[in-house]
Amino acid sequence: LLTYNIQVGISTSAYRHYLTRSWQHFLPHAQRQTNLVKIASLLEAYDVVALQEVDGGSLRTGFVNQVEFLAKTAGFPFWYQQLNRNFGPIAQHSNGLLSRFCPLSVEEYPLPSLIPGRGVIVAKYGDEKDPIVLVILHLSLSSAAQKAQLSFVKKLID
């Protein structure tokens, strides 16, 4: 099991890159596809992968659905994309699930937040009466929002 925030395929290795490479969150760049291939190579060793900060296929990614691309490149037969913020052709902010096993069910929910755009994926595996429940989410930055979001997720799990 792996959880991976891929930052839309942007390569960052120093704090200054969050500023100097921030334009890559909005516009395409040549290195992104190379980074996705490297990420897919890493993912091949896992059976289930939770993805955060993926793009569903917009201008900034050259209209590549990153969840689908990673699933196909890394050999995952099951994938699921949750679109959280839809900026049309500009950006498709999403969470994703890659799995070598077909889940019993996959549901998605919006997380509570002052600014809409965060979500949670709930995937169930195994026995229908006593499933393994996998919860994939990307929390907001503020402490107050995180508390509300985790309270919401706790209710889902209960």
Each domain of the chain, given as residue ranges in start order, spans: 2-157
> Predicted confidence band at 25 (pLDDT cuts at 50, 70, 90)?
low
**Residue 17: pLDDT above 50?**
no
Q: How far apart are CA 143 and CA 131, in angstroms?
A: 31
**Residue 27: pLDDT above 70?**
no
Mean predicted lDDT score pLDDT of the chain: 89
Estimate the crossing angle of helix 66-74 against helix 31-43, to 10 degrees.
50
Q: pLDDT tens digits for 48-92? A: 999 999 999 998 888 999 999 999 999 999 999 999 999 899 899
**Amino acid 20: pLDDT:** 55
Helix (H, G, I), strand (E, B) or coil at 145: helix
Average pLDDT over residues 23-48: 82
Q: How far apart are CA 85 and CA 96, in angstroms?
A: 13
Pull the structure tokens for residue 50.
């939770």
**Amino acid 94: pLDDT:** 95
Weakest mean pLDDT among 29-38, 84-93, 136-145: 29-38
Higher pLDDT, 14 or 64: 64
**Amino acid 45: pLDDT:** 97
Pull the structure tokens for residue 119.
């979500």
**Amino acid 18: pLDDT:** 47
Share of the chain above pLDDT 70, in %: 88
> Predicted confidence band at 5 (pLDDT cuts at 50, 70, 90)?
very high
Indicate the CATH number for domain 2-157.
3.60.10.10
